Chain A
Amino acid sequence: MHRLYVLPTLLINVVIIAIPALLTVMLAFFEWDGISDPIFVGLDNFRALWGDSVFWRALGNNVIWTIIFLIVPIAMGLLAATMMLVARRSANFFQVIYFLPVIIATAITGRVWQGMIYSPVTGITGLVQRLGIDLANPLTETSSALYGIAVVDLWHWWGFLCVIFFAALRQVRAEQIEAARVEGATFLQTIRYVLLPGIMPTITLMMIMTVIWSFLVFDFVYILTQGGPAYSSEVLSTFAYRSAFYDLAVGKAAAISVVISLFGLAATVLYIRVQAKEFDQ
């Protein structure tokens, strides 16, 4: 009888997640314009992706994105969180400040950066240009577009990690920190030998989630550059979106989505294994 309790969530999961996911995997083997009847084409969609330079660029951009987000926001978050731990009194104030960008809608954040900072007409870039300094809008150069978007996402994102890490740090037992201090540990040594090991599970989880989220990134890229100029900031999700809704190649889009899911799946497997190891200990 108690097994019935899982039924509602199971039902929602099957209808909203399992069935669409299965359909997507199936569609990856079909050619479909989203309107007429799908035609089975076997591995053709994957073969086409293999030979498509845009696909490789998008995949490469996702990898670069993942590396950036594994390092920069986590480092920033950890640094700010430990500093808040020291300056307990102002911690609440800083938490609010750091967290603020997280709660602003992505579309608004994107437009603010595009219009007020990057735009050569209405933004700070324009102001600098008018002062005679040759500064280009980073979103318009193929060499910097992806990084220009990453800066916006970092600004929006790192505060979240900071608050999570701060919450975890506060769970580290006070006696341990006290003991370290009594033993004569410096601030850096306390971080290295007490705080960081204390919150390692949280850091691991955040890193694994970062890998999954980085392969799903869509909103900021789509709002700021739509993958351009000349595909330079294309990521897998914007590529899939364009394939499905502009090129009417839903099968190809499904194939790209399957690739995205594979990376997410790998990260999930890794997470489960890490977790299992912790339970064993």
Chain B
Amino acid sequence: MKKTQLLIATALMVTVSHTALSQAALAQDRVTWWYEQATPDQQKLIQDHIVGPFNSANPDEALTVDYRGSELDKQLRVAMLSGNGPDVVYTAGPSYVAPMAQSGQLMPLDDYAAKYGWQERILPVFLKMGEYKGKLYALPKTYETVGLFYNKTLFEKNGWQAPKTLDELEKTADAMMQAGITPFAAGNADWRGANEWFVTLALNAVAGPDNLNKALRGDMPWTAEPFVKSIDRLNGWWQKGYFGKNYFSLTSSEQTADMLASGRAGMMPSGTWQFQNVATYSKKAGSEAGFVGFPSASGDPVFPLGVGSTFSIAAKAKNADGAAAVINYVFSPEVYGTMNSAWQGEWNIPLKDISNVKMASEVTPLFTETMKNLSAAVNQGNYGYTTWTFLPPATDSYLINGIEEVWLKKISTQDFLTKLDASFQKEAKAGKAPAVPAR
């Protein structure tokens, strides 16, 4: 008998506390945000540095982050179509924003920008990139650039200098080939998209940002002479063997970083997302790494600008105000400092003023220095263009696959650029091309 009473009492208590809890939850407005792939450690970072502090600072809101893995983009597209998506819409880049904005799935953010003063706090170039037909639809989460990592220890031992011009780059690479060292640590086994890092570098270094700007705005065809020269030069590097013979077998992140750090390769054309791997493997191999802007024809380094992911608010958001508060919270010096220290390169939030940011002490000075250089270059309007940020989706996809055909001698540079141009013109006409800020 006593047992039964105890059971009933427990059941009652559970019900009461459950009701109290759900009522408390009801008093709060849920804000939903679907995130891409993140390891358990990374999920903890988001929980500790964004979700937790946001929820304590905004007792009326309850932010929940749902990890959707690498299929986020596809899930998002289906969910948005049926009107059941999250409040905070997190896309893989500006090229995904244009089609969504075009079909009215996103909410213009101009009112929130005025309310929270985003114009004063965020680098203007990025606000421009989030526009569609004159209205703001997206804010970029992180910005990045591609340049040249090199093994400083190896360079010093051989008396090589970090190259400034393309001719110097080729001279150094030839010397490496003779010494039996692979010039470029590069691979695409885990990420076919790595192909476009090298195309981006060649386009920016040879044709230059001004020509790219014209082409992206449709004022110059992709078949023009400067682009032919870019692809020919890149192809020349491939044919000479700069990329090594295991390009298609190596992973773009860890195995290439290992190759560079161990001195089996001398240089690594890659992006700011590689800093963490470079630091890890350099420590392991006992070597020191350097990073410079990619050499160009003129000798001035070019920093091609890329945007990792973007934030928007769904047109059918159940809690649009909450979503705006979340986005606003992410664009704070605190989040920049904590997240960018712990998860380098992925949370390089485009704030105008990062003088108040506190970075953790273990962050390499090379990374902080590079990000400062990039921020200055962007501020002065002296930046290049990454293909994954500024090309529409099908054109970008063709660029990634088509360049392999050029490298493996299946098609000529002209054929490649003709097809690329046809795809670009078709997508640009359909309004699928991302916004390109004026130079």
Contact = CB atoms under 8 A, between A and B. Distances in A.
A257 to B, nearest CB: 16
Interface size class of A (residues with CB under 8 A): 20 to 34
Given A229-B408, A230-B405, A139 B99 contact: no
B103 interface: yes
Contacts of B397: 242, 246-247
Contacts of A228: 192, 248, 401, 404
Given A140-B246, A248-B99, A35 B80 contact: yes
B245 to A, nearest CB: 8
B237 interface: no
A35 B248 contact: no
Given A35-B81, A140-B247, A248 B401 contact: no
A121 B250 contact: yes
A189 B397 CA distance: 56
Contacts of A142: 408, 410
Contact of B99 (A36, A118, A136, A231): A36
A249 B250 contact: no
B105 interface: yes
A137 B249 CA distance: 7
B189 A114 contact: yes
B255 interface: yes
Contacts of B81: 34-35
A230 B408 contact: yes
Interface residues of B, number: 30
Interface string B47-80: 0000000000000000000000000011001001
B146 interface: no
B249 A140 contact: yes
A229 B402 CA distance: 10
A35 B410 contact: no
B170 to A, nearest CB: 24
B102 interface: yes
Nearest to B101: A35
A140 B401 contact: no
A247 B393 contact: yes
Nearest to A54: B401
5 contacts: A34-B77, A120-B246, A140-B248, A229-B408, A231-B404
Interface of A: 33-37, 114, 118-121, 125, 136-137, 139-140, 142, 226-232, 242, 245-249
